[in-house]
Amino acid sequence: MSYPNIRPFQYQYLKAPRDFQIIEHRPMCLEIGAGKGKHACLFAAANPDRQLIAIERTRDKFQAMQKLHQSLAVQNILPIHADAIPWVVHALYPQQIEQLLILYPNPEPHNPTQRWLNMPFFEYLLSRVKSGATITLASNIEDYIHEAEQQLKQVWHLPYQKETIAADSARTHFEVKYLQRGELCQQLIITKPEGYQTRFDQVLPCCGQDQ
């Protein structure tokens, strides 16, 4: 097996997020950077048979998501206030995620190495995604999407489809704003093929290992 030509992610050095709690070991969907929770609530309502983990690092946005979640009394969302990287390392098992969503992430204009598909962590994240599952990456920045395409072809060797997001789409507050301004919003629907391997496929979450 030829692994991605990228340095291995050093998961073993990450401490658990503050107030970390172990979650159930069963299939989940995951939204990273869930913001104020608009898409998370829409997704949960449309998929009542699926459990969605909605993780947000920024306190104000997380509190807004919590408030929306409680007001709608949506049962199949688990809001998490944490940085996604250490949380994933400590919480998730291999092939646990049946759908992954990263909608309008910070484009990191001054530090492109921190973009999701440029980070060694992305290989670890792929190990948590089930074979045959999809990863949705959306952005209003054309160069961001183009760079992600190149990484998918040259580093990750993953199949994908590129889509233009409809002008009336309203999944997130950012999406509404960008589309109202007439910006081009696009998404990559990435599939993890059967048999795809990473260097972390046998690594249990840190909570499941001797510390």
Bridge-based pairing state of the strands 77-81 and 52-56: parallel
Mean pLDDT across 8-20? 92
Tokens of 177: 């704003």
- DSSP secondary structure, 110-129, as one string: T-GGGSGGGSTHHHHHHHHE
Packing angle, helices 121-128 and 84-91, rounded to 10: 40
Q: Taken in order 166, 174, 106, 14, is the CA torsion positive or negative?
A: negative
pTM of the model: 0.94
pLDDT at position 211, please? 38
The span from the CA of 68 to the CA of 128, in Å, is: 28
Going from N- to C-terminal start, the domains of the chain cover: 26-208
pLDDT at position 158, please? 97
pLDDT at position 73, please? 81
Q: Which residues lie below 8 Å from residue 67, measured CB to CB, with a gap of 6+?
A: none
Q: pLDDT band for 210, please (50, 70, 90 cuts).
A: very low
The span from the CA of 189 to the CA of 135, in Å, is: 6
Which conformational region is residue 109 in: left (phi greater than 0), alpha (psi within -120 to 50 degrees), or beta? alpha
Average pLDDT, the chain: 94
Tens digit of pLDDT for each residue in 29-80?
A: 999 999 999 999 999 999 999 999 999 999 999 999 999 988 888 889 999 9
The span from the CA of 129 to the CA of 134, in Å, is: 8
Bridge-based pairing state of the strands 129-139 and 97-103: parallel
Given a cut of 70, is residue 2 above it in pLDDT? Answer: no
Share of the chain above pLDDT 70, in %: 97
Q: What's the gap between Cα 61 and its chain centre?
A: 16
SS3 category, 47: coil
pLDDT at position 1, please? 58
Given a cut of 60, is residue 209 above it in pLDDT? Answer: no
Tens digit of pLDDT for each residue in 93-137?
A: 999 999 999 999 999 999 999 999 999 999 999 999 999 999 999
Share of the chain above pLDDT 90, in %: 88
In terms of CATH, what superfamily is 26-208?
Answer: Vaccinia Virus protein VP39 (3.40.50.150)
Q: Taken in order 86, 89, 91, 92, is the CA torsion positive or negative?
A: positive
